[in-house]
Structure 1
Amino acid sequence: MEYIVIVLMIMLSLLVIVAVVYRKLDMSLSWYDEVASVMLAWLTYYASALAALTRGHIGFNGLLNAMKPSLRIPVLLIGEALVIIFFILLAWVGWQVLVILEGDSLISLTWVPTRLTQSVIPIGAVLFVIGQLLSFPEMWRQATSEKGIAGHDDVELADDDSGNSAGEAKP
């Protein structure tokens, strides 16, 4: 998954550089805007799935850790269920979008089917669910431990004695 995200980042960066060079040469690429938008969407969905796998999304671990383990577990399970239900729903709706788009193509590149470009919605949603499920056992292990869920402990939310302001990393 990391390689897909890295390749998409490199391809999008190269596309932007090429488009800028062509624009400077007064030979703008007619398809650049549409393709760059699609690539950015793909990057967003696949990177989001990668973040789900590594539990890199914004979370409320401090709130869960403040709870007693007897309450922490049900709240964790409800949160996980809601996220998974949302992405299953997104995958289903994304599939419906693909059915509706049958026969359509990009405006600037008529040989590229819109279904191909929009396939990232259900694929990304399914990958997100898989990432969430694969990373859940570790989350469960941490949630059931006395230490609680490991988080971003190197970030302070308020000023401390060292002079760091809110959100700055500790030295």
Structure 2
Amino acid sequence: MIKLDHARALFERLLETITVFLIISLAVVVVLGVIYRWSGASLSWYDEIASVQLAWLTYYGASLAGLKRAHIGVPGLIAVVPPLFRVPLVLLAEAVVIGFFLILAWYGYIVLVVLEGDTLISLPWISTQVTQSVIPISAVLFIIAELLNMPQIIREASARVEMMRHE
């Protein structure tokens, strides 16, 4: 269990680093865009790159939020389920989430294949495959986050069962 906790902490640090880097780089690009536009020499690429960075921030940030279990949940629903069915219900919910992200990763990969040879409009040396790679990558990162959280999720569902038995 200690190794899993260590792996989770390292993974969290990785996602935090990526997310902070994306926030800072997005802020730099937007500030540069404003400065250049104000000076009358607009950057042709700034809005396209800022859009890509915002999408990346959204996807990587969602993976980090998934690891921290900060997405919307319905613990009240689990609490009203009979104790015998809580752990199976939680496992089913996790299977649905992981299944969704497996599908997203697969179709994200298909999108990359379709985009082969396409480039950004303002920066033709950047492939759209690079910009859209965030879809399958973040889907896999979200799956990893869910798997790293699984022991805690099961413990919490089991603890609710134990609490109900003692009441």
- Interval of TM-score (by shorter of Structure 1 and Structure 2): 0.7 to 0.9
TM-score under structure 1 length normalisation: 0.83
* Residue in 1 that maps onto 2:84: 70
Measured on the aligned residues, the alpha-carbon RMSD in Å equals 1.3
Counterpart of 1:146 in 2: which secondary structure?
Answer: helix
Aligned length: 148
**1:4 is matched with which residue: 3, 18, 26?**
18
1:36 aligned onto 2:50: yes
2:123 aligned residue (109, 113, 123): 109
Distance in 2 separating the partners of 1:101 and 1:79: 33
> Which amino acid letter does the alignment assign opposite residue 54 of structure 2?
L
- Scaled by the length of structure 2, the TM-score of the pair is 0.85
Structure 1 regions of 5+ residues with no counterpart? 149-171
SS at match of 2:44: coil
Deviation at 1:5, TM superposition (A): 0.3
Match of 1:27 in 2: 41
Q: Which runs of 4+ in 1 moved over 4 A?
A: none
Corresponding position of 1:145: 159
Distance verdict in 2 for CA 1:147–1:74, change over 3 Å? closer
- The structure whose residues are more often helix, as a share, is 2
Percent of counterpart pairs with the same letter? 53
